[in-house]
Amino acid sequence: MESAEKDKAIGVMDSGVGGLTVLKQLLNVMPSENYLYFGDTKNLPYGEKTKEQLIEIVKEIFAFFEKQNVKAVVLACNTTSATAYEELKDKYSFKIYPLIQTVSKCVVLDKSLDRIGVMATEATVNSKKYTSELKKNNPAVEVFEQACPKWVPIVENQIKDYDEKSVITGYLNSVLEFNPKKIILGCTHYPYLLDKLVKYAPEDLFINPASLFANYIKQDLLKRNILNTDSSGSVSYFASSEPDVFKKNAKLFLEIDSLPELVEL
Ligand code: DGL
């Protein structure tokens, strides 16, 4: 019975390819797990949607995961962690791992990080979820959140001909003025832009939360005795529109052998 639970898949979701930054780290620390990655290409960008819209979208994706009988779901998406998680967390048989809530706990373990910048989508910044979660774990921390609405479309559409300096520094400079000890890349798409960001600020200033997140999930599955350590591991991909575009864009981070299966929401 216990081993059957271990063998069940882990659902991972985001609006498109961004969550692959998290999946990559999950594969690094838990290579024997079976993953179902859902890229909701139909509904991106999530950052422009309302809380109500996002709750309805996540419900549809969770219904898909429920049918697949997963043992856990990773919200590899800051925006839905900020807006939909609290509403949905107790309504499913599987445990849900939300990105912001999990990572905030880990980041403030280092008490010297008393000034933290966050770059995220508009919906995440409007929710002030990073500020409340970081302060919950360390009331002394000062947080500055900056929305970067132009960045997700650049990554998802692989736009190359944009005015890099103004698009990057237009958001980054206001965070740098706050003089943060670290800047959390609070949207899973943003690590794709790290090679641009490091032209304007030191690389060690940025936190890509994916690795902290993946390690936390591994420890939790281990504690719950449902960590899969003895299968060969697998990943199946699903997209809610244009699987070919998803496959092409996914290359930025992970090579995908087969076309994702189209799942219409
Ligand atoms: N990558 C997601 C996040 O971490 C959502 C980005 C979007 O679709 O706007 O917030």
pLDDT in tens, the chain (265 residues): 455 899 999 999 999 999 999 999 999 999 999 999 999 999 999 999 999 999 999 999 999 999 999 999 999 999 999 999 999 999 999 999 999 999 999 999 999 999 999 999 999 999 999 999 999 999 999 999 999 999 999 998 888 899 999 999 999 999 999 999 999 999 999 999 999 999 999 999 999 999 999 999 999 999 999 999 988 999 999 999 999 999 998 987 888 888 999 999 8
Q: Checking DSSP bridges between strand 182-185 and strand 115-120, what pairing results, if any?
A: parallel
106 catalytic per annotation: no
pLDDT value of position 211: 97
In the set 77, 118, 120, 154, the catalytic residue is 77
Ligand 1 centroid to Cα of residue 127, in Å, is 14
pLDDT value of position 29: 98
Q: Which of 151, 242, 227, 147 is nearest to 190 (CA)?
A: 151
- Taken as a whole, the chain contains a residue count of 265
Cα separation of 236 and 180, whole Å? 39
Measured from CB, residues less than 6 Å from any atom of ligand 1 are 14-15, 18, 44-47, 77-79, 121, 124, 152, 187-189
148 catalytic per annotation: no
In the set 118, 187, 226, 239, the catalytic residue is 187
Nearest C-alpha to atom 2 of ligand 1 is from which residue? Answer: 77
DSSP the chain: -HHHHHHS-EEEEESSSTTHHHHHHHHHH-TTSEEEEEE-TTT--GGGS-HHHHHHHHHHHHHHHHHTT-SEEEE--HHHHHHTHHHHTTSSSSEEEEHHHHHHHHHTTSTT--EEEEEE-HHHHHHTHHHHHHHHH-TT-EEEEEE-TTHHHHHHTT---S-HHHHHHHHHHHHHHT--SEEEE-STTGGGGHHHHTTTS-GGGEE-THHHHHHHHHHHHHHTT----SS--EEEEEESS-HHHHHHHHTTT---SSPPEE---
Could you tell me the end-to-end alpha-carbon distance of the chain, in angstroms, rounded to an integer? Answer: 32
Does the predicted model carry a pTM greater than 0.85?
yes
Residue 148 and residue 190 in contact, taking contact as beta carbons nearer than 8 Å: yes
Cα separation of 167 and 152, whole Å? 12
pLDDT value of position 158: 86
Nearest C-alpha to atom 1 of ligand 1 is from which residue? Answer: 188
pLDDT value of position 127: 97
Cα separation of 176 and 79, whole Å? 23
Q: Which of 12, 14, 20 to mutate to test the pocket of ligand 1 (most atoms within 8 A of CB)?
A: 14
